[in-house]
A and B are shown apart, each in its own frame.
Chain A
Amino acid sequence: MTVETVGFWLVAAVLLGSSLAVVLTPNLFHAVLYLAAALVATGAVFLLLDQPFLFAVQLLLYAGGVVTIVVFAIMLTERLVGERIRQTSRHLINGAIVAAAVFAGIAGFLLQAPPAAPRPEQTGDVTASIGRALVGPFAVTFELLGVLLVAGLIGALYFARSEE
């Protein structure tokens, strides 16, 4: 048992447990907190795959940004009504059947696939390569992403503004 093996099973257990909690807990606010745990666990998976830069991006954008926005949205919508932030689920059996069928389909593909090559050694500085690729072959896409961010944020402001 290497450190990587132990780490993988530990992270996988945390990720699956918190993901299940996200979709099953009745309290919406708790679901967001479990989502934060799941997102951090996903970042840990990136660390296991030798990508510290993506781990940082995941923490900053997802665990920092997304969770904050969702918490604000819950405060704005649920608290105003004065109701408890409980939520119910419906069609539990049907949903479980569909989800299990999708997983079985993906697993079928994975079983048919030829055995993957062993993991190659990490060479060079990945973060530097990502930076060079972002201003090199992917420069146009990168700029378009900036335009999309601005458009999305202006759109969000427009939707959520007050009427006056």
Chain B
Amino acid sequence: MIGLSSYLVLAALVFSIGLFGVLTRRNAVGILLGIELMLNAVNINLVAFARFHGDLTGLIFTLFTIAITVVEVAVGLAIVIAIFRVRRTVDADRLDLLRG
């Protein structure tokens, strides 16, 4: 029987992998992919807690997270495209327009 902690450890591993991607990727789209992985790991946690505690709220919260993530990706990629039009690059290291 798979316990709650197995799901939590799996989610923690996926979260760490996503964090690694966010920290190491240069391409802005690659960074967004890492954020996707991290949000997914959180969803696994929410669903696992909801299932093991018999509470519906975690499932509703997961639905909201998924919808908000979709909006976040749409806006994030639109910003990437807009930046690309102006700067002709999506390399996060070279996007330092706001540097003081």
Contact = CB atoms under 8 A, between A and B. Distances in A.
A76 B70 contact: no
B23 A87 contact: no
Tell me what chain B mostly uses at the interface: helix, strand, loop, or mixed.
Answer: helix
Interface residues of A, number: 83
Given A66-B73, A110-B8, A160-B82, A145 B68 contact: yes
Interface residues on B, range: 35 or more
10 contacts: A22-B21, A38-B14, A46-B47, A49-B51, A57-B66, A62-B70, A73-B80, A87-B30, A95-B24, A99-B17
A152 B72 CA distance: 8
Nearest to B17: A19
A100 to B, nearest CB: 7
Decide if the interface of chain A is mainly helix, strand, loop or mixed: helix
A63 to B, nearest CB: 11
Contact of A94 (B23, B37, B60, B82): B23
A103 B5 CA distance: 14
A15 B10 contact: yes
Q: B6, B15, B27: which has the most chain A beta carbons within 10 Å?
A: B27
